[in-house]
Amino acid sequence: MKEDQTTTEVCPRDDIAAYVDGELSADAAAKLELHIDSCRFCRSTLLEQRRFLAALSASLDRDEDIVLPADFTKRIVSNAESSVTGLRRPNEILTAVSICAALIIFALFAFGGETFALASAAGTIGEKLLAVGGFVVKIIANLAFAAAVIARSFANQTGAAGLSLPFVMFVVVVLFFSSRRITRRRNA
């Protein structure tokens, strides 16, 4: 038994596959054949590889053509579409949030000492985005106030004071939907 253990430690296992494939030089093949004659482990490995190749060749050499049904592609697509889960399960959102949180924690550990600098930079960017957002909201509020003043003065001059609130609401709704339409065109 001890003899088999020492021979398996030095057995040329990669050379056996090359030998079966006919990739060894004549000298290397002769050396391997001498080794195989004396090593029971390599002899069984060679036999297993030859059996495997014979079985593979037998399965590939069939003269029968495989005939697929006419609607084979349609069946595969329908099966694939029915087995896709997407976001159908309620716990998938929780799983996605958990994975994202774990990745953020991992990233914080990966950045190490640079985490504070990264968080500071992200905070600075956030402050700037909030400032721009506040500016845009203030412009919209000023425009709405200007529209209300114009509508009120128009209503006072024409004597239709009760129509000023519906007119302002109409203008706000028109502005809202036109801005959404412009945004959709830019994204498309």
In a domain, 45, yes or no: yes
pLDDT tens digits for 33-68? 898 888 888 898 888 888 888 888 777 766 666 777
In a domain, 85, yes or no: no
Residues 174 and 76: their CA atoms lie apart, in Å, by 48
In a domain, 129, yes or no: yes
Residue entry with tokens 């190490």: 112
The pTM score is 0.32
pLDDT for 6 equals 47
In a domain, 66, yes or no: no
Residues 6+ apart with CB under 8 A from 144: 168, 171, 172
In a domain, 90, yes or no: no
Q: How confident is the model at residue 132 (pLDDT cuts 50, 70, 90)?
A: very high
In a domain, 184, yes or no: yes
Per the structure, how many domains does the chain have?
2
pLDDT for 180 equals 73
In a domain, 153, yes or no: yes
Last-in-domain residue among 60, 84, 106: 60
Last-in-domain residue among 20, 42, 60: 60
Residue 128 belongs to domain spanning: 115-188
Question: Taking phi first (over 0 means left), then psi (-120 to 50 degrees means alpha), and beta for anything else, what does residue 12 get?
Answer: beta
pLDDT over threshold 80, residue 1: no
In a domain, 140, yes or no: yes
For the chain, what percent of residues have pLDDT higher than 70? 79
Last-in-domain residue among 41, 60, 79: 60
pLDDT tens digits for 141-167? 888 888 778 777 777 777 665 666 676
